[in-house]
Amino acid sequence: MTDLMTNDNHTSDRTPEHEDRAGAAGTPAEGQMKERALWEQRVEEAQAEAQKYKDQLLRKAAEFENYKRRSEADWQNLQRYANERALLAFLPILDDIARSLKSGAEQKNFDAFYRGVELIREKFKQTLKVQGVEPLEALGKPFSVDEHNALLQVPRSDVPPHTVVEVVEQGYRLFDRVLRHAKVVVSVDGSEPAAHGKNQGGHHDQA
């Protein structure tokens, strides 16, 4: 009788608060399920974030590809039309040549035709100068492999050896760069045999 009363007293000591804590703790299986659900939620969040970065990367890749195509097109246009201004400057000279030829055919005046060609030549030289193209000074200068292409060597006693004594084809410079080497005849000591067709320095015409 006393034991029953004691058990009843222990049972009556379990308050609703105790019941709530016991329910909250749950069983071990319930804890594992909650932990699994938590990890699944984190995996879903990570996958969503990864997909977001993947979409951003794909957009950036598409933007870069478009930029690359535009850059290539711009570069092709730049190469194609790089000489537009220079060519436009030469067109008036072509017009002068056409007018000179027409006038020479109609008037049959050689002197006037010759003077007209001389004027066109001077105009052409000035146009080249504006574009940065100027003739190389070669006649009477010491031979230079950087500017000259020796076609022939001739014995000369009136000038020092290796002096340019004749310009066969004029050379030109574009700003500070040799555009075309001058083809020249170079002097040698009178006691040395002349060399025909010798190309000193191994340079060739770079027209």
Domains of the chain: which residue ranges? 27-81, 84-131, 135-202
pLDDT of 203 > 50? The answer is no
Helices assigned H by DSSP within the chain: 2-12, 16-25, 28-80, 84-107, 110-130
Q: Which pLDDT band, with edges at 50, 70 and 90, does 195 fall under?
A: low
> What is the Cα–Cα distance from 139 to 144, expressed in whole angstroms?
12
Across the range 58-75, mean pLDDT stands at: 91
Q: How far apart are CA 103 and CA 134, in angstroms?
A: 30
Per-residue pLDDT, 196 = 54
Give me Rg for the CA atoms of the chain: 47
Among 88-92, 116-120, 168-172, 195-199, the least confident range: 195-199
Q: Are strands 172-174 and 177-180 parallel, antiparallel or unpaired?
A: antiparallel
The two tokens of residue 180 are 């075309």
- In the three-class reduction of DSSP (H, G, I as helix; E, B as strand; rest coil), residue 49 is classed as helix
State residue 15's pLDDT score: 52
Residues 6+ apart with CB under 8 A from 54: none
Give me the pLDDT at residue 4, please: 42
**pTM tops 0.85:** no
pLDDT in tens, 107-147: 778 888 888 899 999 999 999 999 899 999 999 999 999 99
Which pLDDT tens digit goes with each residue over 85-109? 888 888 999 899 898 888 877 877 8
CATH number for region 135-202: 2.30.22.10
The whole-number average pLDDT for the span 144-154 is 95
CA distance 167 to 164: 7
Mean residue pLDDT of the chain comes to: 81
